[in-house]
Chains A and B, each alone.
Chain A
Amino acid sequence: MLTYTASRIGQTIIVLLIISFIAFLLVANLGDPLSALLSADATVAERAALIKQLGLEQPMLSRFASFLTNFLQGDLGTSYRTQEPVAKLIVERLPATVELAFVSLIFTIFVGIPAGIFCGVNPKSPISRGIMLFSITGITLPNFVVGIALIAVFSVQLAILPSFGRGETVSLGFWSTGLLTVSGWQAIILPAITLSTFQITFIIRMLRTQLMEVGQSEHIRFARARGVPETTIWFHYAVKNTLLPVITMLGLQLGNIIAFSVVTENVFAWPGLGSLFLQSIQAADIPVIAIYLIFVGAVFMIINLAVELSYPLIDPRVLRRK
């Protein structure tokens, strides 16, 4: 268990280093900080001073080292677009994205898992067939179509939910939350549904397939031959066998929700990291783009780490396969 944990953490750190190196290369090669930071009429001396100040004349590796050092000290560079520290931009936008991801995940878990188990246990019931039909729609429709359709119905036709923004937020020091106000909740419902539609349908389909497969297995037949009640068989014996892939997928989904909420945030003018990323791309704001990419990579790696560390608790065979 200890070696398992240590090796997982080690791997995570290595991958994070690689991601930050790639992001650094992006900044170092794509961006032109001089033209971005200098005014058009800057002198050659000013130019040389800035080169010195940014350390641009140093060899690549030592520049990466100082990039990392600064990074770890919280200096994420300066945005070309707004001339503000990148760290400040990220911290401003983070709560909106995290809260949206959190609410979407809650929807995913509380709708997707029960529906998936139901479809896996009763694959032939009319309700299951209905759910599966709905889930095909959910899996094929692009995110922005779902978002626009929801806006058309609930914001335009019925006019009961807002179509853009976060509503009122409450500041808790470093964190501004929309989850403490009614308008905040009203604002988050549509984007969260949009974002979770795909995830919900995905979880339903996966749980169903997994459960139907486990349901055929010899150990479930044996449990039946011992008279174990069907509820125990399905909700404990069978479901526990599907947890490994389900937790893995949920982790990946959460990463996806945080990383790729770009489209949804754009449709709902949600002031999160996704919209920041889009604005930065339009302005070729390389430092922000690079940090965003590192952030996304880190989110994926950390979630993945948490998922992998939970494996031995779910399925003790994991430790032996190593």
Chain B
Amino acid sequence: MSMPLLEVKDLTVTLSRQDRQIMALDNVSFSIKPGEVLGIVGESGAGKSITGAAIINLLVPPLRRTSGIITLAGERLDTLSPRALRSVRGGRIGFVFQDPMTSLNPVITIGRQLIDTIRTHLRLGRDQARRKAIDWLDRVGLPNPDLTLDRYPHQLSGGMRQRVVIALALCADPVLLIADEPTTALDVSVQAHILQLLRDLHRESGTSMLLITHDLGVIAKMADTVAVFYAGRVAEISPVKELFTRPRHPYTEGLIRATPALTAAGEIQLNPIAGAMPGLGALPNGCGFNPRCPKAQDDCRTIVPPLTQQDLSAFACFHPLERSLVQ
């Protein structure tokens, strides 16, 4: 086993509300190997975005990381000085935001935003940085990159803007790309192009990727390994093929069955999981999933199941599924 590029250990994030401390992330652990794409999947509100932001310490009050160790290529990120942290952000770790309509500065040209970012991290002169910016716009598939440099975000379509966001995240050649729902805000027809672009860039540069999404379809297309999040905890971590063929956590199976599928009779089948994910601070005792779980027993209602490794998967369940989904 090679050393992981990114390792997150026992990450706990709390939310201060009046007099209460609410846990938003509870002892989350996972790691990413060099060149690997780790997908984080889960319902909205599961804590996926908070996880991504916590890695580069981008949380703002009332959210706060209260414990956990984060290392990038063996170097602690959670104890870095603000100055050192700045060189990690955008330098060694690129971040793609969800909504390209709001994540670009509306009154600064695209070129200026790119060149500022490049020159923050690389020792380049104005002209060299400009050339690199044009080069990146070209790589992410923008037509007329040198003209686009002088454009403002509102002059581009949503898909083109997301390409700019990706260029901004990658322009300083990071070793890890964190993409938080990079296609969720886009038209369906554009989504596939952006995913394709991310996959191509990942293949070209060998950058590792943390891909956050609520969409199992995106996971199936992109991820090597998948971490399933539920209510601020990791439910299961498995290689992507294993996850879809032999899910171990009942929640994982529920998620897979909840995606529309074509039956043999040619009908569209949808089996949503009954109930809803508990909100922040409303976690039941024991396993967070137990009120919705068909296999829940007494132990599930009293003890939080620890993440345990078995075969290729790690899961937090006392009564894991044994059967395979493919006959």
Contacts and interface: CB of A to CB of B under 8 A. Distances in A.
Q: Which of A217, A222, A224 has the most CB of B within 10 A?
A: A222
B107 A314 contact: yes
Interface of A: 217-229, 232, 236-237, 240-241, 243, 314-317, 320
A228 B91 CA distance: 10
A226 B108 contact: no
A109 B213 CA distance: 47
- Size bin of chain B's contact surface: 20 to 34
B58 interface: yes
Given A225-B90, A226-B94, 18 more contacts: A218-B97, A225-B89, A225-B97, A226-B95, A226-B120, A227-B90, A227-B172, A228-B120, A232-B116, A240-B105, A240-B107, A240-B108, A241-B107, A315-B106, A316-B152, A316-B155, A317-B106, A317-B107
A224 to B, nearest CB: 6
Contacts of A232: 116
A315 B99 CA distance: 21
Nearest to A217: B102
Contact of B107 (A218, A225, A228, A315): A315
A143 B141 CA distance: 59
A322 B132 CA distance: 35
A226 B117 contact: yes
B186 interface: no
B168 interface: yes
Contact of A226 (B89, B99, B152): B89
B220 interface: no
27 contacts: A217-B102, A218-B97, A218-B99, A218-B103, A219-B105, A219-B106, A221-B103, A224-B89, A225-B58, A225-B95, A226-B90, A226-B117, A226-B120, A226-B168, A227-B86, A227-B89, A228-B90, A228-B116, A228-B120, A229-B120, A237-B105, A237-B108, A241-B106, A315-B107, A316-B152, A316-B154, A317-B154
Contacts of B99: 218
B121 A227 contact: yes
A236 to B, nearest CB: 7
B178 to A, nearest CB: 9
